[in-house]
Chain A
Amino acid sequence: MFRVTDQPLNLQELVDFVTDPGAGAIATFIGTTRNNNEGRRVVALDYDAYPEMAEKELRRIGDDANKKWQLCRMAIAHRIGPVQITQASVMIAVSSAHREAAFAACRFAIEEIKKTVPIWKKELYEGGELWIGTQSGQPMLGD
Chain B
Amino acid sequence: MKVRVKFFAILRERAGTADATRELAEGSTVSDLWQALRKDYPKLDVPGIRLLYAVNRSYVSPDHKLADQDEVVFIPPVSGG
The answer on A and B forming one complex is yes
Tell me the A residues contacting B by CB distance below 8 Å: 31, 47-50, 52-54, 56, 78, 89-90, 110, 113-122, 131-138, 140-143
Q: At the interface, is chain A mostly helix, strand, loop or mixed?
A: mixed
Q: In the complex the two chains form, what is the Cα distance from A49 to B78 in whole Å?
A: 9
Contact in complex: A120, B81 (CB < 8 Å): no
Is chain B's interface secondary structure helix, strand, loop, or mixed overall?
Answer: loop
Chain B stretch 14-36: residues in CB contact (< 8 A) with chain A: none
Q: Would B9 and A131 count as touching, CB distance under 8 A?
A: yes
Contact partners of A47 in chain B: CB under 8 A: 80
Q: What are 15 residue pairs bridging A and B, where the CB atoms are less than 8 Å apart in the complex?
A: A48-B9, A49-B80, A50-B75, A90-B80, A110-B81, A118-B78, A119-B81, A120-B80, A132-B77, A134-B48, A134-B77, A140-B49, A140-B77, A141-B52, A141-B78
> CB distance A56 to B57 under 8 Å?
yes
- Judging by beta carbons under 8 Å apart, are B57 and A121 in contact? no
Chain B, range 43-65, C-beta contacts under 8 Å to A:
46-50, 52, 54, 57-59
Residues of chain B at interface, number, CB under 8 A: 23
With both beta carbons as reference points, the residue of chain A lying nearest to B13 in the complex is identified as A131
Asked if B12 is an interface residue, CB under 8 A from chain A, the answer is yes
CB-CB under 8 A from A134, the residues of chain B are 10, 46, 48-49, 76-77
Would you call B48 and A114 a contact (CB within 8 A)? Answer: no
Q: For the complex formed, measure the closest distance between the CB of A133 and the CB atoms of chain B, giving whole angstroms.
A: 3
| CB within 8 Å for A118 and B48 given contacts A50-B8, A53-B57, A78-B80 | no
Closest chain-B Cβ to A105's Cβ sits at a distance in Å of 16
Collect the chain B residues with CB atoms within 8 Å of residue A121's CB.
Answer: 79-81
